[in-house]
Chain A
Amino acid sequence: MTVAQSAPTGVAAQPAATAVAARKKQHFSPWREVWRRFSRHRLALASSVVLGLIVATVVFGPFVWTVPINEIDFAAKLQGPSWAHPLGTDDLGQDVLARMIYGGRISLAVGLAAMVVAIFVGVLVGAIAGMASGKVDAALMWLADLFLSLPTLPLLLLIIYLFRDSLKAVFGVEGGIFIMIVVVIGGLRWMPAARLVRAQFLSLREKEFVEAARALGASRSRQVIQHILPNALGPVIVAATIDVAAAIIQESTLSFLGLGFPPDIPTWGRLLADAKDYLDIAPHWALASGAAIFLTVLSINFIGDGLRDALDPRRVI
């Protein structure tokens, strides 16, 4: 039996513990162990299935369901679900299902891309802060604190408001907006990953870095980085899943408010915005788009939770 830990665990301790566990796990197959723990989390497993379905639908859908997304047909407007239109039609008679499949691609793409940006910046900043010390570290952490306290949505709105036109001119309408949204959303979410990576560096730096640097010469410091970073992998993966979910929600929110993609592009948020005025006569429209966002985000969140349990050695029965 382990005597209760004497000190409260802070963020710094957790990556270190994961590091120890990760090293231990390397004796047996590390990914098998992770999978074993993950699969005990029933909701996470179920969510993986759900998410898989959603992704498959969004990726392969257009090949199966070939109804065009902007076929306007006033005769069929605002109809409920039917065989011809499984999710009904909107106020212009366009097929909701087709629009949702198309919109899903965008929403998911934004989510993933924003996550990549956030993790990339975060790991970079965290590594620099962890390896350098003193002033550079302090400055970077001050910057992280600053970013953390910024009100995200207002700032997001502000930046998009200001730069929308110029980017449209350079990259074309869709591309421009996409890049801007991805960069801004991702750019406001790098802090947690940076903190995690930095903590990992701080805890391991004294041991491995110093030894290796002495023994192998400074030119091998890149190898050392390759040793330290993998240990931070666990918490960073968990943070990444949360980032995807958050990015999807933020993009939907932007579209819903009318400040995201242009109005004719049917991202899920946009669909919901259009649907809200017809809530009383055509609820299926709003329900479908809202449910899509909800289910996607929910399953990502559950998967993230399952991953956290699987990668965290502190779990107790």
Chain B
Amino acid sequence: MLGISVLLYTVLALAPGDPFSELAQNPAVPPEVAAALRAKFGLDDPVWVRYGHWFTSMMRGDWGFSFVSRMDVDTLILQRLPTTLIVIGAAQLIAILVALPVGVLAGIRPYSVFDQVANTLAFIGFSLPTFFTGLLLILVFSIQLDWLPFVYRADINATGWKFYWEHIKQSIMPVMVLGLFQGASLVRYVRSSVLDVVKLDYVITARSKGIGERKVVTKHVVRNALIPVVTLVMLQMPVVFGGAIVTEQIFRVPGIGSLLISAMLANDTPVVMAVTFVFSCLVVLCNLIADVLYAWLDPRISYR
């Protein structure tokens, strides 16, 4: 965690030119205010002090003030974070639900027709950049068929079932885009893991016990093959965040990904810094979860 934030801040600090120069150029802000802000943000202090300030204020939850949106950054982020998390979560869930059975089936019958088809589809899946898939889906489902809306609105004037249905309808495409992309690479990983496990001695032992091939696979093979896959899913989260940024742009989902982009295009530095900080926290969290899950699933690892 420390490492990531040091890196981030180093990058920021190394940036030649004052990140607040934009502010200074903003005609709406009178020069005295700009000077006062500079003093307040301690821009004249050496790098270490600035980093310390920034880090502690981040940790304390004081994320500064967005120059563009005119509201506190943390409110801004908290408004949009749940949307992003829901979309990412749903996408990963779909990816796992699809990739697991396909990967296992492909792994236990390598080079069969099913395996070859699955492999090819997986390759196609992760060679398609998410923005292209998104646009394709929009083209087909929104424009040609007019089944699904392609602009995501967080405020829908409906109640009860209709409310949820509308939400789901507009979420399907972004979730599918992300989920399919993730699912494609996951299929390959699951298959590879299953291939590795199926060769191991204890699988032959299991077969020799006469418990039937299906049980051998579901009970013995899958349980072991899943361990590296689960940690991989968690460690792939940074990639998913990246994909989410793109998807939010295309479908205009009001999450923190699109917030990042619009902040960058508007030179709204505090927001940029804060969003990146949030991403880093999420990544660290996922790493932690990966470690814990791995220890939980594999009895050979103990934390004693």
Interface residues in B227-255 (C-beta closer than 8 Å to A): 235, 238-239, 241-243, 245-246, 249-250
Contact pick for A43, options B4, B16, B17, B120, CB 8 Å: B120
A172 to B287, CA, bound (A): 40
Q: Are B242 and A154 in contact (CB under 8 A)?
A: yes
Q: Determine, out of A24-32, A60-68, A162-170, A215-223, the stretch whose residues face the partner at the interface.
A: A162-170
Please name the residue on chain B nearest to A316 by beta carbon. Answer: B110
Q: Which residues of A contact B280 (CB under 8 A)?
A: 150-151
B25 at the interface (CB under 8 A from A): no
Q: Determine, out of B67-75, B94-102, B124-132, B208-216, the stretch whose residues face the partner at the interface.
A: B124-132
Contact pick for B264, options A6, A148, A259, CB 8 Å: A259
A146 to B287, CA, bound (A): 11
Please name the residue on chain B nearest to A304 by beta carbon. Answer: B123
Interface residues in B95-150 (C-beta closer than 8 Å to A): 110-111, 120, 123-124, 126-132, 135-136, 138-139, 143
A293 to B16, CA, bound (A): 34
A169 to B162, CA, bound (A): 54
Q: Determine, out of B7-15, B29-37, B153-161, B169-177, the stretch whose residues face the partner at the interface.
A: B7-15
Q: Which residues of A contact B283 (CB under 8 A)?
A: 149-151
Q: Which residues of B contact A157 (CB under 8 A)?
A: 245, 260-261, 264
Q: Are B249 and A163 in contact (CB under 8 A)?
A: no
Size band of the interface chain B makes with A: 35 or more
Size band of the interface chain A makes with B: 35 or more
Our count of residue pairs bridging A and B at CB distance below 8 angstroms stands at 142
Contact pick for B129, options A6, A258, A283, A293, CB 8 Å: A293
A155 at the interface (CB under 8 A from B): yes
A257 to B265, CA, bound (A): 10
Q: Are A301 and B123 in contact (CB under 8 A)?
A: yes
Q: Are A276 and B264 in contact (CB under 8 A)?
A: no
Contact pick for A4, options B11, B143, B204, B238, CB 8 Å: B204
Interface of A with B (CB < 8 Å)?
Answer: 4-6, 8-9, 43, 146, 148-155, 157-159, 161-163, 165-166, 245, 249, 252-253, 256-259, 269, 272, 275-276, 279-280, 283, 286-287, 290, 293-294, 297-298, 301-302, 305, 316-317
15 additional contacts, CB 8 Å, given A253-B242, A286-B135, A287-B139? A149-B235, A149-B287, A150-B4, A151-B241, A154-B241, A154-B245, A155-B276, A158-B11, A161-B272, A162-B11, A249-B129, A258-B261, A275-B135, A283-B143, A301-B127
